[in-house]
Structure 1
């Protein structure tokens, strides 16, 4: 029994932020019912690389979920949705602000049907404020949240991180808010709205960005692979053409690194013996270290640094990850059976719970409306005649 096995979630919306939240809840046992429009599948079904026309992100982000179809633009579909709400704990959506109200499905309506319902809303800019009615994709919110400005090298324009980090951060914060609301509901007996803005989820990760500016006038800029004033903490070349990250900026750790390099005198050199000295002489120090790392293959280098107690790691590609024993030992790559793709590897569950761990029961449903009969007949007790009529008029 998962930690959330007594919780039922209705997932609306598409693409990443909302569905990722549903995935996280489903990982820990929540019954997640994903709702798609009958005539338009979630675009994520085709996202990323494809095999036989199937996107490889969908089975991951929709794992452990049930799929039903429902047209919320029509009053008949809205009534069906309210019947579902009466039997649910959480409604999560990531439509543009005001969409649910336009359909007559705002929180005031939902709580009349079910006072305990938790309404989890994720948008680019939140439900209030002058930007609330703007469309807000993750890329835009990464820019306005401050992340893009500091990402990249100083002599080049801002760059993307390489994954949809804004949406993913919003999903993590939305999940935290949802769990907090569930906990509070145990005391009050009533639900509430959880309002998550993607730009705010990004901004919340921006460390001391604001006080640095407000109190000192310092505007943090792009610095590439270094952290200004902190050394050594960079990427270094290896003999076999790879890259290794070494973090040895603490005095004691730097001394261990110097010993591993066969240059113990570096730790006593006044240019490198203190945190400030190493920061001021970063370029020279990185050059010395890089000359040494280039003399060793990555495997030998990492074994030496591990034995010396120096934090270090190779910059991993997907190939490195799937062959790493730590990932295997922690079950961070799990294999599930997929109806058309066969054995399908996907990321495991984070975090690990000792008594009620999460579980990947199955990959995302391959067919839209795959669980229509199960949900409409067994959960809502609709008759076959009712279901047939809803199909005929395009509601499901």
Structure 2
């Protein structure tokens, strides 16, 4: 049973597919917002068929669309667009991730809706934002990750750049959309006015790139790929233990470095005056990494972690999902929710983050069937069952 939620009473209309827009609306829904997701009658959101399926529907869908009401609208029809406009004017927030200009053609653009409802907030997620020479170009997360700088620094220096194994660009953009929506809600509480939140995928990735710009501007440094290491911060790398597991060790604090070197039997390095500070360790990165790698190769993952934990050195095994679902820390923090599909099949979902002490988020229901709530939502707009049946017959819903 879910108690009071932080965004209860906030109405969100989701116009979008796949990842960025729907993930943004998902987070709002996880904290209590009433999210209505508009889908095409012709198959709905393509994410329904992505990756691993159960009974023809993606398992991803159960998470990405949880707490949402699915209605079908054919936005290529005048009646479908009229209903979408009704819903938008009743909403607090509209989340959309169409190419710039598409909603304007349908009479659903921000300025068009704002003229009738000045308090409306619209979160617009796109590859390159609503302005600029690339605004009309398609921009998936992979392009945002590449243009925003993440792909360039990912991987090993002697190989082509690699991607993170998830759609990180879309997800980061979605979280920026949530930040913008909450900030806009706060401002609306004070001014009564809504605003547009313009999120570009490449800019969201770019926002994560730490000291990339000032390092280049002042020192002419272009950050390059460094494999598992953290450049200029020593030691912080990934090593392989004798039983073939991978372990991350972050011994880059000055006091931590001394404890690490002592723990692995390299008191000479622990006491070396040159290595007492990070700027002295950087020129000897290879020597330090070699010493740690040799020690790790002589340990199992369990003995290595136990030794480093005893020495108060930050270290961790690189987890697969198999590790996560049985890990005591994940379990103690309640990081999984147990639910069931309509046929009774149990399913474990990731719990909602972050954790709020008074109004935590949660899952009220799993991702819905296509159009499951169409009748329910349309009746709240004043449509009779006969009118809904007529709309279905005309292909508008």
Classify the TM-score, shorter chain: over 0.9
Is 1:229 the counterpart of 2:229 in the alignment? no
Is 1:174 the counterpart of 2:158 in the alignment? no
The CA distance in 2 between the partners of 1:89 and 1:275, in whole Å, is: 49
Is 1:266 the counterpart of 2:269 in the alignment? yes
Displacement of 1:259 after TM fit?
Answer: 2.4
Contact 1:121 1:196 in 2 (8 A): yes
What is the match of residue 145 of structure 2? 142
What is the match of residue 336 of structure 2? 333
The CA distance in 2 between the partners of 1:196 and 1:153, in whole Å, is: 30
1:114 pairs with 97, 100, 117, which one? 117
Query: 1:97-246 to 2 correspondence within 5 Å?
Result: 97-246=100-249
The CA distance in 2 between the partners of 1:348 and 1:229, in whole Å, is: 35
Contact 2:44 2:72 in 1 (8 A): no
The CA distance in 2 between the partners of 1:166 and 1:150, in whole Å, is: 14
What is the match of residue 370 of structure 2? 368
What is the match of residue 88 of structure 1? 91
Displacement of 1:115 after TM fit?
Answer: 2.4
Query: 1:292-371 to 2 correspondence within 5 Å?
Result: 292-340=295-343, 342-365=345-368, 367-371=369-373
Displacement of 1:341 after TM fit?
Answer: 7.0
The CA distance in 2 between the partners of 1:341 and 1:106, in whole Å, is: 42
Q: Secondary structure at the match of 1:201?
A: helix
What is the match of residue 391 of structure 2? 390
The CA distance in 1 between the partners of 2:48 and 2:385, in whole Å, is: 29
Which segment is superposed worse, 169-178 or 75-84?
75-84
Displacement of 1:50 after TM fit?
Answer: 2.0
What is the match of residue 60 of structure 1? 63
The CA distance in 2 between the partners of 1:299 and 1:261, in whole Å, is: 14
Displacement of 1:271 after TM fit?
Answer: 4.9
What is the match of residue 28 of structure 1? 31
The CA distance in 1 between the partners of 2:65 and 2:209, in whole Å, is: 29
Q: Secondary structure at the match of 2:340?
A: strand
Q: Secondary structure at the match of 2:247?
A: strand
Displacement of 1:128 after TM fit?
Answer: 0.7
Number of residue pairs aligned between Structure 1 and Structure 2: 394
Displacement of 1:340 after TM fit?
Answer: 4.2
The CA distance in 2 between the partners of 1:338 and 1:113, in whole Å, is: 41
Q: Secondary structure at the match of 2:90?
A: coil
Q: Which runs of 5+ in 1 are unaligned?
A: none
Which segment is superposed worse, 55-64 or 44-53?
44-53
Displacement of 1:114 after TM fit?
Answer: 2.5
The CA distance in 1 between the partners of 2:355 and 2:287, in whole Å, is: 42
The CA distance in 2 between the partners of 1:86 and 1:197, in whole Å, is: 24
Contact 1:229 1:280 in 2 (8 A): no
Displacement of 1:175 after TM fit?
Answer: 0.3
Q: Secondary structure at the match of 1:57?
A: helix
TM-score, structure 2 as length reference: 0.96
Contact 1:337 1:362 in 2 (8 A): no
Contact 1:85 1:113 in 2 (8 A): no
What is the match of residue 380 of structure 1? 381
Which segment is superposed worse, 226-235 or 2-11?
226-235
Q: Secondary structure at the match of 1:11?
A: strand
Q: Residue by residue, what CA displacement relative to the aligned partner does 1:97-132 show, whole Å, maximum 9, x if unpaired?
A: 100011111122212343221111100000111111
The CA distance in 2 between the partners of 1:54 and 1:192, in whole Å, is: 36
Q: Residue by residue, what CA displacement relative to the aligned partner does 1:191-250 show, whole Å, maximum 9, x if unpaired?
A: 111111101001111111111111111111111111233221111111221010000111
Structure 1 residues 78, 229: CA separation in 2 closer, same or farther (over 3 Å shift)? closer
Q: Which runs of 5+ in 2 are unaligned?
A: none
The CA distance in 2 between the partners of 1:204 and 1:228, in whole Å, is: 19
Q: Secondary structure at the match of 1:66?
A: strand
Structure 1 residues 120, 270: CA separation in 2 closer, same or farther (over 3 Å shift)? same
Q: Secondary structure at the match of 2:188?
A: helix
Displacement of 1:55 after TM fit?
Answer: 1.2
